[in-house]
Every structure is written in C-alpha cells, then in structure tokens.
Chains A and B, each alone.
Chain A
C-alpha cells in the first residue's frame, strides 16, 4: 500500500476510538464513563471530518448521520455496559438504529422484519435468559473484561485495515487517486450505469425494497436458498429443543 501522509489522518479517530473503548470496557476499578464517552464522541467527530461532505438531500443526510451515530454509540455502550440487562437493551436500540439505516437504503420490509425478529424475539429471549440466570445480580465476570487492551487493539487494527483500503480505492472502478491524495474517502459514481452489476429495469430506488420485487427475487432466483433456509430453521428448532435442558435434569 502506498503510504501517504494523508493516510495518517485516519489514525487519529482510530486511536481515539480505541482509547474510548479501552477506557469504557468494564474492569475491576470503575472509571469515569463520561470521559470515555467524550473521547468516543470526539473520535466520531474527527472521523466525520474525513468523511465526504454531505452532498445532496439535507434531510436524508441528517437522518443518515443520526441513525449512524445512534447505532455506533449504542453498540459501544452495549459492549461496555456492566449490566447484561442494559447491554441487551442497548443492543435493541442499536437494532432500531440499524433499521433506520435500512429504511434509508429503501429496505422497509427488511427494517420491519429485523425489528420483529431481533427486538421482538431474540432480544426478549436473551433478556429472559439473563434474568433467569442472574437472579442474584450482576456476576463478577461481568465486571471485568478479558484482555481489553489487546482485543480492542486487534479489532481496531482490522478496522484500520478496512478503512485504509476503502480510502485507497474507494471507487470500485479505481479512479480514486486524486481524492485519496486529499486524505478523503473517494466518492463512488452515483450513476448506477457505470456498474456492470446494476440492473437498469429495477432502477427505481423505491421499487427495490418493495415486497413485490423482493418476493419475486426470493422465490424465483433464490428459491433453493429459501428452501434450504427453511430447512435450517427447522433443524435449528429441533436442535434447540433437543439440547435445551429438561426439567428432569435439574433446576436452572
């Protein structure tokens, strides 16, 4: 990778983000959560500065930034919260924010389905289990993270790799050299015709996420995959019933 000084622009938000996560991760002696939160917010703001300036619909951009910030902040709070019940609730909020992003990507059906599946089913079930298992309060193992510095460093290294590569050739057609020189993320062509993968007939963005298009795609192109997914669900159901402890084996 050709290293240019502008690439260093990304290091600051990454370092701040790592510091924030590391600061916030639960440990034996609690730290000020506000300080960590401030560092995290600062990281996000610095990152925002390197991101392309909003171009286009103001409402759309505001909504995107709001949902993105909510998803990231709630995700960060989820993995750093000591109380698993709160963590599950933060996860539900993250899910809601991600659904907002789905909506912006014209996927209303997906957003509804995700809310139903995650917030309605998965999170509730997790909450049940947590409350069942932790009637005595927060366990000691929730108060301390395992190798927080090392793990978050590694994860941020991965993130940095992703971001650098995005910065290097953000454009799929690779015309990014000029913008990369300014340390900014390249903009991809907004005209879908430039892409071979794009489908002209379905080009109406409103139509993409509609039930009609999605259903036609699922049950024609992906019929086998749908059947397989159904089978997987069935097997998982049977497996869960088989694995789950019986009453005869003792109490929870």
Chain B
C-alpha cells in the first residue's frame, strides 16, 4: 500500500502545513472570522499528523514488523533526505536547508503532531472568547512548524535556527497575556535563561565545524570512523563539544541550574504549558542529546556529567514539587523532574558503551510516554482552572470529584501513569530507565557513581508518586469547596475540551502498555542510523518490583496524609517549618540568582550609566559646545532688525570696493 507515497517528496508537508496555517491567520484569519481561527490550524495539524504517520511507516525497511527481533540490526539503516536549497556557501562552509528523517525523527514527529493536534482542539474550547484568539493559534502553528523543522533539520546550523525559533514561540506564548506584568516578566525570564543555553549550543556548533569541517548530520554520523579518530586524537576537544551541546540542552530542557524559567512559564495559557512546556519543546534538549549519541558514547565524562545534572535536577525539582500549592507549578516541577530522569538515562552509557542504545531508547521512550501523560495532566489542570474561574491554588478548592467527573477521570489516569502505577505508561518507561541505571551501577569502574544516581532515581520515583497524588487528593477529594470566582455551578469541560482529554487519557494509560512489553518502540528506534550495536535487553524484575513498591508507597502516603487524616500533613508542615519554606521556594534558587547574578549585573549597569552620563555625555556636550560658542560669537549679528542687516551689507560693500580698487591700483 501507499506505493504512490515517496517519503522524501512529501517530507516538507509536515512543517509546511502549520506554516501555511500560521500565515493564513496572520494575513487573513485575524480579520475575517476571528472566532474560527482554530480551524485552519486543526486542519493543518491533521495533515501533518497524517504525513508523519506515513513517514513513520516508510522510514524503516519494510518487513520490520516481522523481522524486528532478528533482522533489524542486519538490514541497512537509512535516513530520508530532502535537499531544499543551498542556504550559506562561504568558503568551506556549506550549509543547505535539508530535511532529514530517520526513525527517531519519525517518532518525534508523530508525538509532536499528535499531541499538538489534541491540544489545539482542547484550546479551541479553552481559549474561547479571548481577545487574542487568532494570535494564539497563529503562535501555536508557528511553534509546531518550528518544532517540526527542528526535528527534521539536516544539520546543526539549521537545527540551531529552529532551536531559536521554538524559543521565540515559547516567549510569545508565555507572554500571551502580556498585559499581566507577571506574564511579561516570565516570558522575559524564559527567553533570557534560554539564551544562556543557546549560547552554549552555538559554541558547540562552531567547535564542531572547526573540528570536523562540516555541520551536516549525514556527513558526521555517517562516518563513525572519523568521529572515533578525532575522539581518540583529541579527547579534550571532543568532550568540550559534548559539554557545550549539553549546555544547550540544559537551557532548553530546563535542567539544573537553568531550570528556573519553566515554573514561571506557567503564566502562559494552560494549553501552552501542556504543549510546549511539558510535551514537546522542553524535550528538544533530550532529542538533541539523543541525536548526538554518536558523540556522547565516545565521551564518558560528558555522559556522567549528563547523568549527574539529570539526577540533581530530578531531585531538586521533586523536592520543590512536594510543597507547591499551585496546581500548575506542581506539574511544572514534575516536568523538570521527569526531564531529569530522561537525562539520567541518556547519561547511563558512561559506564558501558554497550548500554548506549538502551539508554537512548529508554530516554526517548520515557519522553514519548511522558508527553502523553503530562499533556493530559496539564490539560486537566487547565480544565480545573477553567471551571474554577482561573483559580489554581489548591488550597482554595477541593472535592471536585463530583463536580468535574471527566476531568477527575483524566487527571487520575495521568497521575497514575506519572506515578508509575503498574502496567501503565509511566511504569514501563520509568522502569526501563531504572533497569538501565541498575545495569550501569554494576560497572566496575564507574559503578559507585551510578549507584548514587540510581538511589536518586528511586528516591525521586517515590517523591513523584507522593506529590502527584498529593495534588490529586487535594484537588479532587475531601470536602467539596469552590472559590468565589467559580460562580455557583462549576461546569465540567465542554466537548471540545473533553474529547482531547479523554483521548489523551486513554493514550496515557495504554501507550506504554502497547510499546513497552513488546519492545515495539525500542526496536523501531534501533533503526536510527548512528546508534551502536546493543545486546538484547531483558526486563529487570528487581527494579520493576522496587518501583512498584515505591509508587504504591507514595500513593498510599499521599492518601493517608491528605484524605484519611489531613491533620498529619498540617502537623508535618508545622514540624518542618523552615524546611517546608525552603522547599516551597524552590531551594531558594531564585533568591540565589537574584543575589549573586542579577544584582551584580545591576550594579554594573548602574556604573555604566554613571560613566555614560558623567563621562561620555560630558565629552559629547563639549563637542557640541564648540559650535555653540562660535554661534554665540556670531549670533548678535542676527538680531532680526533690517537696518542691522543693511549695515552689514554696507560693511561688505566698503570692503569689496576697497579691495577692488586696490587691485586696480596694483595693476596700474
């Protein structure tokens, strides 16, 4: 089937459809039929999704479904490349706009387009009546275009361009309600913090170019021997490249210490939080590191750094999430924490190169499942916000089980998946990450390091279950309470919102079940060119058991503390007063930034201002003073009285006459 379909011919459809939708809204849609601005976007995303699924089917060799277990590694892995046009050609630098798709790309594209399609349908209900309705959908379409191009980019430079573009869309969407000072500040913060990471990324790209002489993926990853040669020749440079690329990932994926922008980004509309700041954009860093696996496998130090940063982030974010009262903030810190998980997995191959394929596969798998269950959690939170009159503080409502049945079900599904309840999505993906970390900790050389990482991962797993269900119980259980803003009868999600919620909820529950035990996802991903050979993977029953126990303990503890006897949680809060505050304030990281980075910079700016005002300005004033001095000398002549001018004319006449006469006399 699909014989007419040539993937490299229609590759461009995936990003082009949202771009067209964006242009349509910008040029026409924001004037005509504003309330239907979501339609072109929904249509375009449906087209993109269809194209992405076609790509998914065609990008790997046919017969994959049958021969997956045995023949996959033997068959030549390949990528589909669509050369659009030559972009830069300066000296030795040749950069073209090239679309490149392989198995990893196809999976990312399916995830991006499907989640964004559902989120856009949800947003058409959620954003209804907002004055910026067309602007919202234009930004979303632009974001999906940028994200698809980022994933499809055929070289590092093009990837960087769209890396910046998604950052721009994120800025636009966080600051969507730019009248709110907090939203404007959050957008600025996100942009500035991201910039630090982007700077690292572009430095890494420069270094790649000076080292390898090319930035093209195909040329780089297609020649593993070249990479190995350089890695052995100059390991310092090579590790530096990996570090710099990872700095880019830190910024985009909100890892410690640049994670501070993501919780603030929740000022944007909730669908944006679901789409960009949970499911897709923040995973770009994970994608980048996964894409550069051929580099990272040769730099164990960088891998350990990745794992260490991931562990630190996961732990810090989980601790912070324990005490948040803002429902969306709990989810934001949870996102940061789960991204840390993915990086832990990506860094797991530092101990043993043979683990690399599994490590990447499980990181990507966790990203995939996380996209679905985090999207459903955010959208459910959005639904709660919608019916509570934009109140999001969990202390102000409770017992919404009866009032919002659909939202309750979907939120529960998302929470169970996130907590790693057995047989649900999060269980499979998280379990595999724990397994690969366990394998890494068995290594003789770096085993101790990875034991610590594993411990952190287990602790985080416990905390994840606890804080997720803390939020769930605080919101949906207990005594039924509504804030005044909600009105008398809070209504559940309208159909446009309920549909995507239910679809995502089902996906959150069962995506892992379909892909996890069958290894469908993993074997598909192994077709990505550049991944090293891997041993067969067998489930780690020990880790599975531990993780189930931890999840159940976390859920149980939350149930005990917030439903059975709420006094326990109150007592706990009182008993650990300073610690509670410390956690609530995100380990005071914002305060540290203010104290040690923002304030010194402000002082510098003040000094520059004084210098500008009292040194540069004075010089400029002096320069300006000279002509004005001349002007002051000559000004009295110009006093506006006609006789004065006539007198000057007489002076000129006398002078002319005398000089002419002198000349004549001299000539005689």
A and B touch in the complex (CB under 8 A): yes
> A residues touching B (Cβ–Cβ < 8 Å)?
1-2, 146-147, 150-151, 154-155, 157-158, 161-162, 164-165, 168-169, 174
| In contact, A154 and B650 (Cβ under 8 angstroms) | yes
Q: Which chain B residue has the least Cβ–Cβ distance from A158?
A: B654
Docked pose: A161 CA to B650 CA in angstroms:
12
Name 8 interchain pairs, CB-CB below 8 A, sorted by A: A1-B662, A2-B665, A147-B643, A150-B647, A154-B647, A154-B651, A155-B650, A165-B657
Instruction: Tell me how far the C-beta of A81 lies from the nearest C-beta in chain B, rounded to whole angstroms.
Output: 18
Ranked 3 nearest A-B pairs via Cβ: A1-B665, A154-B650, A161-B657
Does B1 reach chain A (CB closer than 8 Å)?
no
Which chain A residue shows the least CB distance to B668?
A174
Instruction: Report B-chain residues with C-beta under 8 Å of the C-beta of A158.
Output: 650, 653-654, 657
Chain A residues with Cβ under 8 A from B662's Cβ?
Answer: 1
Nearest-CB residue, chain B, relative to A177 = B668
**A151 to B, closest residue via Cβ:** B647
With A155-B650, A158-B654 as known contacts, state yes or no: A165 contacts B661, CB within 8 Å: yes
**Chain B positions 633-668 with a Cβ under 8 Å from a chain A Cβ:** 641, 643, 647, 650-651, 653-654, 657-658, 661-662, 665, 668
Nearest residue, chain A, Cβ from B650: A154
Q: How many residues of B contact A (CB 8 A)?
A: 13
Other than the given A151-B647, A168-B661, 12 more pairs (CB < 8 A) read: A1-B661, A1-B662, A1-B665, A147-B643, A155-B650, A157-B654, A158-B650, A158-B653, A161-B654, A161-B657, A161-B658, A165-B661
- Distance A150 CA – B647 CA, assembled complex (angstroms): 9
Residues of chain A with a CB closer than 8 A to B654's CB: 154, 157-158, 161
Decide: B643 and A146 in contact? CB cutoff 8 A.
yes
A151, A164, A174: most-surrounded residue (chain B CB, <10 A): A151
Instruction: Compute how far the CA of A150 lies from the CA of B654 in the bound complex, rounded to whole angstroms.
Output: 14
Residue of B nearest to A157 (CB): B654
Query: Assuming the A-B contacts A154-B651, A158-B653, are A168 and B665 also in contact, with contact meaning beta carbons closer than 8 angstroms in the complex?
Result: yes
B464, chain A: closest CB distance, angstroms:
91
Residue of chain B at shortest CB distance from A154? B650
Q: Which residue of B lies closest to A1 (CB)?
A: B665
Chain A residues near B658 (CB-CB < 8 A): 161
The residue in chain A whose Cβ has the minimal distance to the Cβ of B649 is A154
Which of A1, A155, A164 has the most chain B CB within a 10 Å cutoff? A1
User: In angstroms, how far is the closest chain B Cβ from the Cβ of A153?
Assistant: 10
List residues of B whose CB falls within 8 A of some A CB: 641, 643, 647, 650-651, 653-654, 657-658, 661-662, 665, 668
Separation in Å of the A1 CB from the closest CB of chain B?
5
Most chain B beta-carbon contacts within 10 A, residue among A146, A154, A155, A162: A154
Give complex CA distance A2, B664 in Å.
11
**Closest-CB distance, B265 to chain A (whole angstroms):** 71
A154 to B665 CA separation, bound complex (whole angstroms) = 23
Residues in chain B near residue A165, CB distance under 8 A: 657, 661
Residues of chain B within 8 A (CB-CB) of A1 are 661-662, 665
Shortest C-beta distance, A116 to chain B (Å), equals: 30
Q: Say whether, besides A158-B653, A161-B654, A147 and B661 are in contact (CB < 8 Å).
A: no
Q: Could you tell me the distance between the alpha carbons of A155 and B650 in the complex, rounded to whole angstroms?
A: 7
Chain B, residue nearest A174 (CB): B668
Residue of A150, A161, A168 contacting most chain B CB atoms (<10 Å): A161
Nearest A residue to B661, CB-CB: A165
Contacts of B661 in A (CB 8 A): 1, 161, 164-165, 168
Shortest CB-to-CB span from B642 to chain A, Å, is 10
**Assembled-state Cα–Cα distance A169/B662 (Å):** 12
Residues in B neighbouring A150, C-beta threshold 8 A: 647
A161 to B654 Cα, complex, angstroms: 7
Q: Which of A155, A157, A169 has the most CB of B within 10 A?
A: A157
Tell me the minimal C-beta distance from A147 to chain B in angstroms: 7
- Residues on the B chain within 8 Å of A169, using CB: 668
- What CA separation (Å) do A157 and B665 show in the bound complex? 18
Residue of A nearest to B660 (CB): A165
- A147 contacts B665, CB within 8 Å? no
Collect the chain B residues with CB atoms within 8 Å of residue A164's CB. Answer: 661
A150 to B643, CA, bound (A): 12
Q: Which residues of B contact A2 (CB under 8 A)?
A: 665
Complex Cα distance A154/B654, Å?
Answer: 8
Q: How far is the CB of B640 from chain A (nearest CB, A)?
A: 13
Shortest beta-carbon distance, B649 to chain A, in Å? Answer: 10
Which residues of the partner chain B approach A161 to less than 8 Å between Cβ atoms?
Answer: 654, 657-658, 661
Q: How far is the CA of A174 from the CA of B653 in the complex (A)?
A: 24
| Residue pair A147, B647 in contact (C-beta under 8 Å) | yes
Chain B residues within an 8 Å CB radius of A151: 643, 647
Whole-angstrom distance between the alpha carbons of A2 and B668 in the complex? 11
**Complex Cα distance A162/B660, Å?**
12
User: Taking the nearest CB of chain A, how far is it from the CB of B652, in angstroms?
Assistant: 11
Interfacial chain A residues near B657, Cβ < 8 Å = 158, 161-162, 165
Give the distance in Å from the alpha carbon of A2 to the alpha carbon of B653 in the complex: 21
Rounded to whole Å, the gap between the CB of B637 and the closest CB of chain A is 13
Q: A158–B662 Cα gap in the complex (Å)?
A: 14
What is the distance, in angstroms, from A132's C-beta to the closest C-beta of chain B? Answer: 22
Question: Contacts of B651 on A, CB cut-off 8 Å?
Answer: 154
A74 to chain B, nearest CB (A): 23
> Chain A's nearest CB lies how many Å from the CB of B106?
86
Distance of A50 Cα from B149 Cα, bound (Å): 104
In angstroms, Cα B43 to Cα A116, docked, is 98
Q: How far is the CB of A215 from chain B (nearest CB, A)?
A: 36
Tell me, in angstroms, the Cα distance from A174 to B665 when the chains sit together.
Answer: 11
- Please name all residues of chain A whose beta carbon is closer than 8 Å to the beta carbon of B668 when the two chains form the complex: 169, 174
CA distance A45 to B647 in the complex (A): 29
Contacts of B665 in A (CB 8 A): 1-2, 168
Cα distance A1–B665 in the bound complex, in angstroms = 5
The answer for the CA separation of A165 and B662 in the assembled complex, in Å, is 10
**Closest B residue by C-beta to A165:** B661
Within the complex, the shortest CB–CB distance from A107 to chain B, in Å, comes to 28
Once the chains are docked, how many angstroms separate the CA of A139 from the CA of B661? 42
Q: Give B643's nearest chain A residue, CB to CB.
A: A146
Q: For residue B653, which residue of chain A has the nearest CB?
A: A158
Instruction: Report chain B residues within 8 Å CB of A157.
Output: 654
What residue of chain A has the Cβ atom nearest to residue B665's Cβ? Answer: A1
> In whole angstroms, what is the CA distance A155 to B662 when docked?
19
Distance in angstroms from A149 CB to nearest chain B CB is 12
Q: How far is the CB of B648 from chain A (nearest CB, A)?
A: 10
In the bound complex, CA of A99 to CA of B378 (Å): 109
CA–CA, A164 and B654, complex, Å:
13
Q: How far is the CA of A157 from the CA of B653 in the complex (A)?
A: 10
Give Cα A174 to B651, complex, Å: 28
Name the residue on B nearest A155 (C-beta).
B650
B636 → chain A, closest Cβ, in Å?
12
Q: How far is the CA of A158 from the CA of B657 in the complex (A)?
A: 8
In the assembled complex, the CB of B525 is this many whole angstroms from the nearest CB of chain A, namely 93
Q: Which residues of A contact B647 (CB under 8 A)?
A: 147, 150-151, 154
CA distance A81 to B641 in the complex (A): 22
